[in-house]
Structure 1
Amino acid sequence: MNKLTLRTLPALLLAVFSGAASAAAFQLWEQNASGLGTAYAGSAAVADNASTIFYNPAGMSELTGYQVSVGVTGVGPSYTFRNDGSTLAGNNGGDAGGWHAVPNLYLSGRLTDKLSLGLGISAPFGLATEYDSGWVGRAQTIKSEVRTINYNPSVAYRLNDKVSLGFGVNYQKIDAELTNAGGVLKGDDSTWGWNAGALFTLSPAMRVGLSYRSSMKYTLEGTLNGATPVRADVELPDTAILSVWQQVSDRWEAMGDLSYTRWNSLKSLNVISRATGNAIPPAGETFNYDNAWRIAWGAAYKASEMAKIKFGIAYDRTPVRDADRSARVPDNSRLWLSLGGQWNAGRHGKVDLGYSYLYVRDPDINMTKNGTTLRGSYDASAHIVGLQYSVGF
C-alpha cells in the first residue's frame, strides 16, 4: 500500500490541523483557547466546556446536557539565526518561524446522571520551520514540517459526588516532511493510543484532576527524494498532568498545573530502505531528548455576571539538550505570560479570547552533520492568540 497517495479528506484535515510548536520540542498545548488566558493552568480540573475531553475526559461529568466547543489558536513562533563560525557560506536563513492555525472541536453529552460520552478532534503535535534555501545551514535543514490530527472518542462515569473517572481512545494520523540541500524525506502513518483521567471534587469550591495520555508509536512510510521507498520508527511521548482548581471567593478562581512529558522516547529518527532493509544514515535525525516538565499558575476574576478576566504564567522546560540542538527544532526553555477574557451570554454560549507571549531563552547551536558545522545562536520568541466558542443545550 502506497501511503503517500493522496487521500482527499485525510489530506485536507491534516492541512487544517497543522501548527508550529509552542510547548517544549514540538508538542502543542493549545487544544482549546479557553485555557490560553491562564497559561493552561488547571487544565485537567477546570472542566468548564467540552474541551476537557483532551485534558481530562473525567471532566465531562461536570457538564450538563449536550455541549459543543469549537475554537482556533494562532501560533506565531519566531526563530532568527545569528551565524558565528559555520563552515558553509550563505545568509542567516531569515525567520524560520511563522504563523499557523491550530483548530479544535469537541462534543459531549450527558446520557444519565452518571454517564457521559464525548468526541474530540485536535492536533497534539506540530512542527513548522523553514529557512531560505541559500542559508549557512542548508546542508542540515531547510524545511521541517510535522502535522497531526487526533480523533478522541471518550467516556466519563461519575462514581459518586466526589470521584469521576474518564477514558478515551485516540486514533492519530501524522504527516512529515524534512528537507535539506541534499534531499527531501516524506512519510506518513496512523496509530492508536489512549487517555484516561480522574476528577476529585474535594468540596464545592475545589477540584483536583489527574490525567494521562499514552505515547503514540508510528512506523512512517514514504519516500526519499521522491523515489527511494523508506520507513522510520517514531514514538511520540506520553504526558501526565496534575491540576487544581479552586473557587477562592465569589469573584476569584485560582488554578495550578504540573505536567510531565516523557520525551526520552524520541532518541533518533533512523531511516531504513524498504527495498534492502539497510539504514540510510544521512537521511536520519538525532534527537536524544530528555524528559520535560511544565508548571503553570493562573487566576480568573469575575468582573460582572457576564465577563471574566483571566491571566496566568507558566514555565516550560525544554527536553532538548544543548549538545544535540538542531536547526530543525531550535528549542529552549520558555516562560509563558498570558491574558484572556470570557464573555458569557447564557443560553447563547460563552466566548473566550486569549493571548500568550512566550519568552524563550535564546538557543545556541553547534551541530556537525552531513560534513558541515552549523554554529551560532537564535533570537527566539512566540505569540499565541486564540478564540473559543462553547455552548450547551
Structure 2
Amino acid sequence: MQKKRMVRAIAAVFGLGLSGVAGASGFQLLEQNASGLGNAYAGSAAVGENASTVFFNPAAMTKLKGVNVSAGVALIQPSYKFSDEGSSNAPAAKGTNGGDAGGIAALPNMYASWQVSDKVFAGLGVGSPFGLKTEYDNDWVGRFQSTTFDIKTYNVNPSMAVQATENVSLGFGVNYQRMEALYKRQAGVAYPPGSNAALNAMVQGTTVTLDATSEAWGWNAGALFKLGSSMDLGVSYRSKVFHRLEGTLTSTNQAVSPDTHARADLTLPDTYILSIVQRLDENWEVLGDVSRTNWSSVDKVAIDRANGSTAQTLDARFRDTWRFALGGTYKINASWKWKYGIAYDQTPVRSAEERLLSLPDNNRYWISTGAQWKLDKSSTVDVGAAYLYIPKSSVSADQRSSGRGNVVGSYDGSIVILGMQYSVSF
C-alpha cells in the first residue's frame, strides 16, 4: 500500500508537466534521459555514463563509483496533420481535417545509484516508458472513431548490479508501474434510413469517454561485457507488463449510453537491446544499437462494460518491430564533448486498414546531435536535439458496420525533441 501511495505521488508531480506523447514508434518513449538523445540512443545499454543506466541496463551501474544522481527533461513536439481523401461518415455530414493532432509535452526523469560495496551496486529510476496523446478538433471527420486518446505511464524501477568478474557485470530490476488511459469519441451509431432525424442528431452529438487506470509489475535485467580495453557490449531486457485498466465509461447523454464501470486489458510489450561502444582513440568513440520490441502483445483491445457486453474493440493488431541506431562522440577538450547519431525506428502498424486514428504511426527516421559540458570533476550537463522524419502515412479506417464511418486519407507527421540532463556524483 505504501508503495502504491509513492507511485501516485510521483504521478501527481510528473503530471504537472507530462502529457503522454510517443517519441519512439508505437507509443514507446525512449526519452528516459537527455544524455543519450544526442546519439539517437545508440549504445544505450553499454554507455553507463550516468545513473540513467538504471533504465537502459542496470548492469552498467558498475561503471559508476560512489553515489550518482541524474535528472532531466525532454520536450517532445509531435505533429500529425490529416488530409481527407474521400471519407464518409455514417450517419453524419462530413467534418473537418481535425487540425494538428499532436501537442507539446514535457517528459521528466530522475535516477540515482549507490555503490554498496566494491562489487555490489543499487539504483532507483523514475520515468515514463510508454505514452501517447492525439487530440483532434471536435468537428473533424473521424470524430466517431477518436477525438482524444491519451495514455500515460509512471514507472518506479529499483535495481541491483554486481561485478561478477573483472569483465562481466550483471544487473536486475523490478518495475512498479501505473497506467492512465483517457479515450473520447462521438457515439455516431447509425440508425436506419427514414428514422427520426432528431434522434440521429442526438446520438451523433453524444460524447463517450473511457477514463481508466491500472497498477502492475514488471522486471528488467541486463549484462555488460568488457571486450578488451576499448570495447563494451551491453545486452538488456525489459519484460512485458500486463495492465487490467478499470474505470468508468461515461456519456454526455444517458439516454444514448448510460454511465457504467468498464474494463480493458492491455499487455505492454517486452524489449530486447544489444548495444556496443567502441573507443577509437582518446577523442573518438562509436556507438551502435539494435533493439526489438514485441508489439504483437497489443492485438485486439476490448472495452467491456460491467454487464459483460463489449462497448468497442480497438483492433490494433500490432506487429513486432526493430530499431537500429548508430552514433558517435567526439571529445573536443577536457570540458566538452560533441554527440551525434541517426536511427531507423520501425512502426508496429501493419497497413493503412489497420492504422488507428488514435495512433497514426509510421516508420521514423532520426537525426540527432548534442553536447556534454563537464562543469567540474563530479558534474555534467547534457543537451540534445532530434528531428524525427515520419513519411506520409495512408489510413483507411472503415468502421461503417459499427456506425463510426469510413475515414480515408493520409497523415503528414514529424517530431522534434529537445532535452537537458544534469548528472552529479559524490
| TM-score, with length taken from structure 2 | 0.88
Please list every run of at least 4 consecutive aligned residues from structure 1 whose deviation after the TM superposition is greater than 3 angstroms.
none
Contact 1:14 1:148 in 2 (8 A): no
Find the residue that maps to 2:12 and give its secondary structure: helix
Find the residue that maps to 2:377 and give its secondary structure: helix
Find the residue that maps to 2:60 and give its secondary structure: helix
Q: Which among 272, 279, 292 is matched to residue 310 of structure 2? A: 279
Find the residue that maps to 1:61 and give its secondary structure: helix
1:166/1:348 CA distance change after superposition, 3 Å: closer
1:288 aligns with 2:317: yes
1:329 aligns with 2:329: no
Q: Which residue of 2 aligns with 1:257?
A: 289
Q: Which residue of 2 aligns with 1:392?
A: 425
1:193 aligns with 2:223: no
**Sequence identity (%):** 47
Find the residue that maps to 2:54 and give its secondary structure: helix
Find the residue that maps to 1:186 and give its secondary structure: strand
Q: Which among 269, 277, 282 is matched to residue 237 of structure 1? A: 269
Q: Which among 72, 84, 90 is matched to residue 95 of structure 2? A: 90
Shift of 1:245: 0.5
Aligned counterparts of 2:9 and 2:72: Cα–Cα separation in 1: 20
1:73/1:11 CA distance change after superposition, 3 Å: closer
Contact 1:14 1:147 in 2 (8 A): no
1:152 aligns with 2:157: yes
Q: Which among 377, 384, 388 is matched to residue 354 of structure 1? A: 384
Shift of 1:347: 3.1
Contact 1:200 1:209 in 2 (8 A): yes
User: Partner letter of residue 364 of structure 1?
Assistant: S
Unaligned 5+ runs, structure 1: 1-6
Q: Which residue of 1 aligns with 2:193?
A: none
Aligned counterparts of 1:17 and 1:379: Cα–Cα separation in 2: 24
Aligned counterparts of 1:92 and 1:17: Cα–Cα separation in 2: 26
Q: Which residue of 1 aligns with 2:137?
A: 132
Contact 1:79 1:379 in 2 (8 A): yes
Higher radius of gyration, 1 or 2? 2
Shift of 1:91: 0.9
Aligned residue runs from structure 1 range 1-393, under 5 A: 9=9, 12-13=12-13, 15=15, 16-88=17-89, 89-182=94-187, 183-225=208-250, 227-274=259-306, 276-280=307-311, 283-322=312-351, 323-369=353-399, 370-371=402-403, 372-393=405-426
The one-character-per-residue Cα deviations of 1:2-55 (angstroms, maximum 9, x if unpaired) are xxxxx9736514524543101111000000000000000000000000000000
Aligned counterparts of 1:41 and 1:208: Cα–Cα separation in 2: 12
Find the residue that maps to 1:346 and give its secondary structure: coil
Aligned counterparts of 2:290 and 2:368: Cα–Cα separation in 1: 17
Find the residue that maps to 1:384 and give its secondary structure: strand
Aligned counterparts of 1:225 and 1:347: Cα–Cα separation in 2: 56
The one-character-per-residue Cα deviations of 1:129-167 (angstroms, maximum 9, x if unpaired) are 100000011011000000000000000000111100000
Aligned counterparts of 2:327 and 2:389: Cα–Cα separation in 1: 17
User: Partner letter of residue 155 of structure 1?
Assistant: M
The one-character-per-residue Cα deviations of 1:339-362 (angstroms, maximum 9, x if unpaired) are 000001223510000000000011
Contact 1:350 1:390 in 2 (8 A): yes
RMSD over aligned Cα atoms: 1.2
Contact 1:95 1:131 in 2 (8 A): yes
Shift of 1:373: 0.3
Q: Which residue of 2 aligns with 1:4?
A: none
